[in-house]
Amino acid sequence: MTRMKDKVVVVTGAAHGLGRATALRLAAEGAKLVLGDIEGEALARTTADVVALDCVAQTVVGDLTEESVAGQLIDAAISAFGQIDGLVNNLGGSRNARIWEMSVEDWDYTLRLNLRGTFLCTRFAAPHMMARRQGRIVCLSSGSREGTPWTALSTGGAAYSVSKAGVHGFIRDVAIELADYNITVNAVAPGPIDTDRVGPGLRKLEETMTLGPMTVTPLGRLGLPEEVANAILFLLSDEASYISGHTLAVSGGR
Ligand SMILES: NC(=O)c1ccc[n+]([C@@H]2O[C@H](COP(=O)([O-])OP(=O)(O)OC[C@H]3O[C@@H](n4cnc5c(N)ncnc54)[C@H](O)[C@@H]3O)[C@@H](O)[C@H]2O)c1
């Protein structure tokens, strides 16, 4: 288990769900981690669990859609380890509402959450990677980049879909900008994943809808957080050296 031995990886939104699963997977592969999240107590639990795997980890607690906090996260990586090999822009989420009921505040909140932290952390990490002419950036898009039938039918996910389509566009442009520096930029687009916070809502939709998330997924089940973490690990690893500007679906088929 040494695919990430001594590689320094920054993971945003590492307290829960896919960020936490990614941190644990990377720790098991020998990475040194810099973890950021807005929830301090839950982040401390993730950190204790990665340290138990013999991983060296630094943490920054705060709102990573704020420029100063995103800057602190990248600075923490450089101060502690002197380099950044990988950045996982994982933090994200949604305030859903049908379009005729959605407030401007919720629309802005969702776009900010999914796009601003990704922009800021990439903006601050890129010069450090460019100086060493190496680096891997992986961003969390979603199957929702093409619309999400169950969400649209029940609670309205237009803002979320827009923001995750935005992540797909972001990685395609930034991959070209950073190609000269040997830095790859990709996205992972999960389907319905059984995380601690999203899983229960997906199950409820499955019970109440004819075309619920499991029914419309060819593999017929929710994905596991570890299955998404495995895809992120691959895109961060040496094995993915000739892949850039790609959004990899981890969605149980299409
Ligand atoms: N779970 C799914 O089914 C699914 C599917 C597709 C895409 N995704 C995407 O994967 C990513 C992770 O999803 P998840 O299900 O693990 O979500 P989650 O809500 O369980 O975890 C998100 C993490 O981000 C943190 N966070 C939220 N706002 C923050 C902020 N402003 N600053 C710092 N940290 C903040 C939260 O505290 C949490 O630890 C998100 O980008 C999400 O949109 C998830």
pLDDT tens for 86-116 read 999 999 999 999 999 999 999 999 999 999 9
Residue 126 has pLDDT above 90, yes or no: yes
Q: Determine if ligand 1 sits within 6 Å of the CB of residue 13.
A: yes
Could you give the dihedral angle defined by the CA atoms of residues 23, 28, 30 and 31, in that order, rounded to the nearest 10 degrees? -10
Cβ neighbours around 218 below 10 Å, total: 9
Q: Determine if ligand 1 sits within 6 Å of the CB of residue 37.
A: yes
**Angular region, 196: left φ>0, alpha ψ -120 to 50, beta rest:** alpha
What are the residue numbers of the active site?
Answer: 160
pLDDT tens for 15-68 read 999 999 999 999 999 999 999 999 999 999 999 999 999 999 999 999 999 999
Residue 195 is predicted with a pLDDT of 97
Cα-to-centroid distance, 180 and ligand 1 (Å)? 31
Cα-to-centroid distance, 245 and ligand 1 (Å)? 22
Domains and CATH numbers, the chain: 8-250 (3.40.50.720)
Residue 198 is predicted with a pLDDT of 93
Cβ(135)–Cβ(129) under 8 Å?
yes
pLDDT tens for 191-244 read 999 999 999 999 999 999 988 999 999 999 999 999 999 999 999 999 999 999
Instruction: Report the amino acid identity of residue 98.
Output: R
Residue 149 is predicted with a pLDDT of 85
Residue 154 is predicted with a pLDDT of 84
Q: Determine if ligand 1 sits within 6 Å of the CB of residue 64.
A: yes
How far apart are the C-alpha atoms of 184 and 168, rounded to whole Å?
14
Cβ(247)–Cβ(145) under 8 Å?
yes
How far apart are the C-alpha atoms of 80 and 176, rounded to whole Å?
29
Q: Determine if ligand 1 sits within 6 Å of the CB of residue 18.
A: yes
pLDDT band at 1 (very low <50, low <70, confident <90, very high): confident
Across the beta sheet with 8-12, the strand order is: 57-61, 32-37, 8-12, 86-89, 135-140, 183-190, 247-250
Residue closest by Cα to atom 20 of ligand 1:
17
pLDDT tens for 136-193 read 999 999 999 999 888 888 889 999 999 999 999 999 999 999 999 999 999 999 999 9
Residue 152 is predicted with a pLDDT of 86
User: What are the angstrom distances between the C-alpha of 238 and each of 86, 149, 234?
Assistant: 11, 36, 8
Cβ(243)–Cβ(183) under 8 Å?
no
Burial class of residue 148 (count of CB atoms within 10 Å of its CB; 0-12, 13-18, 19+): buried
How far apart are the C-alpha atoms of 213 and 57, rounded to whole Å?
35
Instruction: Report the amino acid identity of residue 87.
Output: L
